[in-house]
Structure 1
Amino acid sequence: MSRIVMLVLAIVLGTSEVHAQEWKGKWIATMENQSATNTWLAYRKQVNVGQVPAHAMARIAADSKYWLWINGKLVVFEGGLKRGPNPMDTYYDEVDIAAYLKTGNNTIAVLVWYFGKDGFSHKSSGRAGLLFDCDVNGTEIVSDKTWKCAIQPAYQTAGAPLPNFRLSESSILYDARKALLQWQENNYDDKWMLEAMELGKAGAYPWNKLHLRPIPMWKDHGLTSYVNPRQFPVVSTGDTIVCELPYNAQVTPYLEVEATAGQRIMMATDNYLFYCPEISVRAEYITRDGLQQFECPGWMNGHKVYYFIPKGIKVVGLKYRETGYDAAFEGSFTSSEPFLNKLWEKARRTLYINMRDTYMDCPERERAQWTGDAVNESGQAFYALSPSSHALSKKWLFELVSWQREDSSLYAPVPAGNWNGELPGQVAASVGYYGLWNYYLHTGDKATVAALYSGVKRYLDSWVPDGRGTMKFRTGDWTWGDWGEERDMLLLFNLWYYLAVKGMHHMALTLGNTADAAKYATWMEEFTTSFNQQFWTGSAYRDPAYKGQTDDRAQALAVVAGVAGKEKYPSLLKVFQTAEHASPYMEKYVFEAMFRMGYVKEALARHEKRFTGMVNYPGFTTLFEGWGIGKEGFGGGTVNHAWSGGGLTILSQYLCGIAPLIPAYKEFQVMPQPGPVKSAAATIASVAGKISSAFVNLPDKFTLTIAAPDNTTAVVGIPDRGWRKILLGNKVVWEKGSFKKQATVAGVNNDNKDHICFKVPAGEWSFTALK
């Protein structure tokens, strides 16, 4: 990546080298085991504070995770982000610790978990370390050799089966016989602990520049009883205790037992035991004598937690702690169709469990930010979650471009230490219309577009034209178009590239890069003509060299890209009604294409047919990677894959019709496409405020109620079904094909032939159309 691009990225993220030099703390660790996999370090510092201020912002960096206590009270449960804002650097947190300090002596205690291995979501620095920096009214609390540090010997690595190579986390074994008990407390005697070893200043190798954490700290729900709480205490008979969670969640299991020393308890979720095609993480605990408590700090996920407890151990209590991305479920959807309601809710739950340090493809097998998955997830988050979720999309996009290779190629998943392969289709999807441009539409974050523009342009320029108006096939490092069969790859990659250019055209106009915008506009026009001449057979799009069955994915991308003209829609509908090759990932684009073509009834029928087994599968609150579980899924599949939730976006954006027209929802549309659905309602928590749409769809009457937040304008569309008149409240605003003159709302004459449109200011509005 060029120096200019790197400088722009550094400035936007607030991570310039000058800022890094302001730190007074040093990276510290022990003299031993600084690079051993799955190392746990205990740090302590006594500091005398005079007057406690209203705020005391501590900056904390660690490789790889940390837990913070002040005066014995837990302040941060799992701080830090997996390494990788770019291939070299490290993230740091800001935590206001003022509320936990007191006048006089204070104890700072930090537990650091050093992963010590690369993964599909983490690039190890190769060295464990902690950096702490805080100024409390002139009293400096900074990490240096005056801190105490020691290996926490109780934390060890559980034996085989080991987690698969994609995971940077190890399965944790905790031997309570070796525990440093109450080492976080004020009165702990730490004289035996050695002084910490200083490893370098902030900005030093191997952690390099420090980047402020761009997403919120985790939401911590605290220790909670399971859904099926048992009567405790109970003496174990050697049977497994199965505890139910309210839904598929990211949890850390907790136990309180009375036992003799040396007995081994194993904790794992149903996902680990039954539903993950590769080995994930579990926890093991070896007892000491007496009453004892333990919470495994490494999170796992599933619908159930299994405790394998040896016979004779007295179980006093079992609980769990749910932590996760700090976003609220502020979007909503409901309709007269139970299947659609269940699909939307399961999609949101699946989305949420795949959000943490990054967007993930799944929370147990890989925890990897496959960028094609992130496109679908980001799109869902705008409709389902609070605006705090937008930061994860921004982080994803910055990481994607910040890891750009010298040959201009982009790849995913990133951050990663043991993967560097380009998937051209996924990357093109991410940098274009459905990725970066969609992010800007929903957030209005122009600075991010400006910062990433040149890197995206370099990537698009690295694709090679074929001299016919389309592009040569780009194999990438993994020539992957989708799971399943019958993939017309040349068409898929060309159309993803077109969508990338379409997004760049919009971004060039936004940034005032008129020459680029003109170049992209000319290219898109030439591409559309050439693509149709080369690949349209009269009934479908096909590469002449492709010998498989007609690919429904390629037809869908041609529609959503705008390459397929309306005259082709009847033929394409026949393809969508007969060809079912798309995976759940690509089915989102088929669903969207059919809505865009106006075939709502057929779109809903296809989506329900394809997803019914998954949505109605008992016992799961999440959607699967493939169409089923085990052999019915691609490669075994996972049971919580958010790429399958694209229907959530379509139901909110098309069925209920909510979509931004001007970035940040300064102007948006409510243009419902009800089809056969009798009623539906959706809300979204946009950056402009809460937006709602609700319709009731009867044969001779259609009502639409919307809410537009302050300082916005909405274009409201009533589906045109031959109405006699349309009322706003009790006032006629349209009758017999003509808008009525009135001051409240303005009629809009636009190219949308399927809706009768009005423009309304902020407020609540209720329209009624009558036959």
Structure 2
Amino acid sequence: MSESIELPEKHPLRQAKWIWPGSYLYLNNCYADFRKDFALKRVPEKALFAITADQSYRLYINGHYVCRGPARGYQSHWPYDELDIKDFLKKGHNWIAIEAYNTGTGTFGYIHQACAGMLCAAEWDDFKFYSDESWMMRRNISRLKDAARYSVQLSYQEHVAASEHSRDWIYSEKMSDELEKDFTTYSRYSFIFGRSPYYTLEKRTIPMLRESLYAPKAVISKGIGNADSSYIKWSNIAFGFYEELENSKWEKFPESKYKNSDGFLEFELTPSGHKNFNAVLVDIGQHFIGTTEIELSGGNASAVLDINYTEGAKNLAPVLPRKEKNGCNIAMGNRIFLNGGKFHHEFYHPMGSRYITLIARGTEKRLKIKMRLRKYEYPFEMRGDFNSSDKVLNNIYSVCRHTQQICALDAYVDTPWREQAQWWGDARIQARNTFYIDGDSRLFKRGIRSIAGQCATEGLTSGHAPTSSHSCILPDFALTWILTVWDYYYQTGDISLFVEQFPRIQEVLDYFRQPKLLSKSGLVKHDRRLWYFGDWAPVFKGEIPAFLNMWHLYTLEKVIEMLKVAGMKKDAGEIKAEAAAKRKLAKKKFFDASKQLVYGGLDEKEKPIKEYSIHDQTIAIMLKLLPDCEKNMMKKLILPFIRMEKLDPAIALPSPFWISYVFDILTEKGYGEDVIKFIRKKWSPMISTGTTWEHYTWEPGENWSASHAWTAHPSSHFVNIISGIRQKAPGWKKITVEPNPVNGMKKAEVLIPSPKGDIVSKWEKKGNKINLSLLIPEGIEAEIVEKSGRKQTLSVSGKYSFALQGSDC
């Protein structure tokens, strides 16, 4: 952990105690409530309040919602949040209410350490308070513990009993005697700062999430069907509804029967009776991630209202993941046991979806519903921009931007839907998207440290972290983690993160140096204990994969470059010798001289496996491993693939995630127009959902997500290819500019939020001339390249205009 993010020695949190109601038994799916009343003689000019909880919290002050946190992390240096709450305070009586949650088990975003706690502190002038045994606290029993998981990757469905649930302790200045008694029945477990597992704390280092309230767009349909006789006992309400959907009937919901009023979507559900269900399908308007707030009146005490979250709908009906092919056990649903009167609740866990289905069962009276959503997102400014005369490409770019936003929370997440996990292969793509869309590197930097923080098998990183998953250790993603340290340096020009992480980088590299993982000649073998991923495509994954060995070599050579910049000459020399030997071996062992291509790999006897992939040729070109063969690699495999020509079915083709690397080498080789045509063909269908998909195709009900930012990379490729702006040195010290009016495009403009300032380019094609205007920030050297090959260099910042020689197309 870097010293720069450690908790200061005199920080108020060091005087606070970790507290939790009851002991640390039975933490499974545990909700805890905390309240502190206090009086202020005056409101301070600045009121810094530090707070954290394991696993998470929601903070209210004087009945007003403030925020949720903390960022995901590790108990040994658990993250805390610090915010100025002055605007929420008043002279006289004040109260703080905190909802906290601990899943009681591990997830794909959390490691459980058989402990839970809330910690907070404030020191304002002569007023001080800290979390301790004087706080009122209780376990909230209105949420049933016996609920299914949302998925293999996430925590538990929220089943709340309205009759046991009151939020007066949050909103009321004085609690009722009955509520106060409820808060005094639990023992107050506490321990001082610094005790295991919470040895210290670390700063959040990223902004608090941006939160906003809004109403869903519309109620689009209503459905009826036979209710399963055992619905009241369901622990998994999503799987139960899946079975009921088969024979249900759906029709359009009249627009006159719902309204948007005061930021809420309002509508009614007619009585269902005890043998049927009545349901409505709500369209949020776009994919989002957040919580659902709901106000109910009517119904009856023996009824339930279920809320299911889905990415897709078809024929006016919601489409849930196929139960029989649901490897992730995706079951995104919550439940309310009605009380027959008024009820107000905001569900705790952020859910990612496009559609929300509300299903009433057992209702004998009309149920009036008001709902709104609280959206959570990383506070990108989204300064970067791309706009052109091609409306389809503009729409694809917008889809990429939106997907990038909803996949950025307290970490880059693969999808806001079933996982919300910080997969690091995905994050590399997402970070590059960010550099072109926003320019913020803080989330990336925190993620690099987060991945480093979980040490897996023999020094490797986990594929995503923090995580409880023991099956997600990917040697190639550990190398990708090192490459993201390079990406951070190349983007920012800051080598300090590499220096900080170099000991951890050495641990990863040492894994690949183990004799048991090396062949007789010294090549890296496939460690079959672990998940060698490469890509979803069927690249060779036998004894000695070419992909893994070349990815390893590519990583070593980037490490050498960083060591030289850092002035670590001895380490650079040692790894340079290692890389030189690996390069020589790769050229000797993986080169098919007869085909002038790279083999997929070798068998146990180091004999070549005559399998070929786009991936292996691409990495070879990235490495400049066989420069004399690059034209052949392009001609035989890469160009036919990108031009969507017929290839041997045995050729492994890249997924829409890994193809980003292919796009890069094609752009460098001058085939940008082919890339744009491919993107137009493959990404245009994604416009229909407003998001980029996990794969090239998607249908409602599939386990693959329709909201995956690893396919949002056209946001950077459009800029590189069409504006022709490409970074050529760390920290954006040098760029090239080569406007490229592909596919008959008439004009385009871009803004790149570089670390040195905004780079702005606008060009318009007039005949065979390209009129270019360019804004270059201070500290950037720009080389302007015309189609004729003529070049000119700009070393002074400012605004420029050019009439460039273009092509006749």
TM-score (norm. length: structure 1):
0.86
In 2, Cα distance between the equivalents of 1:34 and 1:672?
A: 64
Deviation at residue 187 of structure 1 after TM alignment: 1.6
Name the structure 1 match of 2:794.
Answer: 759
1:166 has 2:153 as partner: yes
1:68 has 2:55 as partner: no
Residue deviations 1:625-661 (CA, integer Å, cap 9, x gap): 222236998xx42222222223322222344233444
- Three-state SS of the structure 2 residue aligned to 1:93 is strand
Name the structure 2 match of 1:112.
Answer: 100
CA contact (8 A) 1:20 1:209 kept: no
CA contact (8 A) 1:351 1:642 kept: yes
Name the structure 2 match of 1:665.
Answer: 732
In 2, Cα distance between the equivalents of 1:346 and 1:546?
A: 42
Amino acid at match of 2:118: L
- Quick one: which of 330, 342, 347 aligns to 1:291? 342
CA contact (8 A) 1:20 1:202 kept: no
Name the structure 1 match of 2:415.
Answer: 362
- Three-state SS of the structure 2 residue aligned to 1:364 is coil
Deviation at residue 244 of structure 1 after TM alignment: 1.5
Amino acid at match of 2:461: L
Deviation at residue 445 of structure 1 after TM alignment: 3.6
Amino acid at match of 2:791: I
- Quick one: which of 541, 545, 558 aligns to 2:620? 558
In 2, Cα distance between the equivalents of 1:196 and 1:45?
A: 16
1:186 has 2:173 as partner: yes
Residue deviations 1:323-359 (CA, integer Å, cap 9, x gap): 1222122222223334433332222222222222322
Amino acid at match of 1:621: G
Amino acid at match of 1:628: T
- Three-state SS of the structure 1 residue aligned to 2:565 is helix
Query: How many residues align structurally?
Result: 715
In 1, Cα distance between the equivalents of 2:420 and 2:350?
A: 12
1:340-419 correspondence runs (5 A): 340-387=393-440, 390-405=441-456, 407-419=458-470
- Three-state SS of the structure 2 residue aligned to 1:769 is strand
1:702-741 correspondence runs (5 A): 702-709=770-777, 711-721=778-788
Residue deviations 1:358-384 (CA, integer Å, cap 9, x gap): 222222322222211111111111112
1:475-494 correspondence runs (5 A): 475=528, 477-487=530-540, 490-494=545-549
Amino acid at match of 2:534: G
Deviation at residue 533 of structure 1 after TM alignment: 3.6
Name the structure 1 match of 2:41.
Answer: 50
- Quick one: which of 310, 315, 318 aligns to 1:270? 310
In 2, Cα distance between the equivalents of 1:131 and 1:90?
A: 11
- Three-state SS of the structure 2 residue aligned to 1:290 is coil
CA contact (8 A) 1:600 1:674 kept: no
Name the structure 2 match of 1:729.
Answer: none
CA contact (8 A) 2:269 2:360 kept: no
In 2, Cα distance between the equivalents of 1:476 and 1:375?
A: 25
- Three-state SS of the structure 2 residue aligned to 1:452 is helix
CA distance 1:320–1:383, change in 2 (3 Å): same
Amino acid at match of 2:31: W
Name the structure 2 match of 1:594.
Answer: 666
In 2, Cα distance between the equivalents of 1:354 and 1:149?
A: 34
In 2, Cα distance between the equivalents of 1:12 and 1:555?
A: 42
- Quick one: which of 81, 98, 114 aligns to 2:71? 81
CA distance 1:699–1:65, change in 2 (3 Å): same
Deviation at residue 530 of structure 1 after TM alignment: 4.1
- Quick one: which of 521, 529, 539 aligns to 2:596? 539
Name the structure 1 match of 2:281.
Answer: 242
In the alignment, structure 2 segments of 5+ residues that lack a partner are 220-254, 260-265, 273-277, 313-317, 641-646
TM-score (norm. length: structure 2):
0.82
1:261 has 2:301 as partner: yes
- Three-state SS of the structure 2 residue aligned to 1:585 is coil
In 2, Cα distance between the equivalents of 1:632 and 1:565?
A: 45
In 2, Cα distance between the equivalents of 1:226 and 1:513?
A: 57
Residue deviations 1:708-732 (CA, integer Å, cap 9, x gap): 23x32231322333xxxxxxxxxxx
Amino acid at match of 1:270: T
Residue deviations 1:685-729 (CA, integer Å, cap 9, x gap): 2332222223334662123322223x32231322333xxxxxxxx
Deviation at residue 524 of structure 1 after TM alignment: 4.4
- Three-state SS of the structure 2 residue aligned to 1:309 is strand
Name the structure 1 match of 2:749.
Answer: 681
- Three-state SS of the structure 1 residue aligned to 2:496 is helix
- Three-state SS of the structure 2 residue aligned to 1:216 is coil
1:456 has 2:505 as partner: yes
1:436 has 2:427 as partner: no
CA distance 1:664–1:28, change in 2 (3 Å): same
Deviation at residue 158 of structure 1 after TM alignment: 6.4
CA distance 1:440–1:654, change in 2 (3 Å): farther
Amino acid at match of 2:5: L
1:560-709 correspondence runs (5 A): 560-565=622-627, 568-576=630-638, 577=640, 578=647, 581-609=653-681, 611-612=682-683, 615-617=684-686, 619-629=688-698, 636-676=703-743, 678=745, 679-697=747-765, 700-709=768-777
In 2, Cα distance between the equivalents of 1:32 and 1:459?
A: 39
In 1, Cα distance between the equivalents of 2:41 and 2:790?
A: 68
Deviation at residue 552 of structure 1 after TM alignment: 0.4
- Three-state SS of the structure 2 residue aligned to 1:156 is coil
Deviation at residue 44 of structure 1 after TM alignment: 0.9
Residue deviations 1:463-511 (CA, integer Å, cap 9, x gap): 1366768545555611222112243662111221122122212211221
CA contact (8 A) 1:671 1:718 kept: yes
CA contact (8 A) 2:216 2:283 kept: no
- Three-state SS of the structure 1 residue aligned to 2:479 is helix
Name the structure 2 match of 1:737.
Answer: none
Deviation at residue 19 of structure 1 after TM alignment: 6.4
Residue deviations 1:36-62 (CA, integer Å, cap 9, x gap): 211111111111222322212111110
CA distance 1:597–1:317, change in 2 (3 Å): same
CA contact (8 A) 2:550 2:586 kept: no
In 1, Cα distance between the equivalents of 2:399 and 2:687?
A: 12
CA distance 1:359–1:257, change in 2 (3 Å): same
Deviation at residue 583 of structure 1 after TM alignment: 1.2
- Greater shift in the superposed pair: 458-467 or 398-407: 458-467
Deviation at residue 393 of structure 1 after TM alignment: 0.8
CA distance 1:145–1:514, change in 2 (3 Å): same
Deviation at residue 566 of structure 1 after TM alignment: 6.0
| Fraction of identical pairs, as percent | 20
1:124 has 2:124 as partner: no
Deviation at residue 105 of structure 1 after TM alignment: 2.0
Amino acid at match of 2:775: A
Amino acid at match of 1:257: L
In 2, Cα distance between the equivalents of 1:603 and 1:411?
A: 32
CA distance 1:122–1:22, change in 2 (3 Å): closer
Name the structure 2 match of 1:331.
Answer: 384
In 2, Cα distance between the equivalents of 1:570 and 1:28?
A: 66
CA contact (8 A) 2:589 2:608 kept: no
1:13 has 2:68 as partner: no
CA contact (8 A) 2:399 2:687 kept: no
Amino acid at match of 2:725: I
Residue deviations 1:449-475 (CA, integer Å, cap 9, x gap): 221122112322331366768545555
Deviation at residue 427 of structure 1 after TM alignment: 1.6
Deviation at residue 140 of structure 1 after TM alignment: 1.3
CA contact (8 A) 1:566 1:597 kept: no
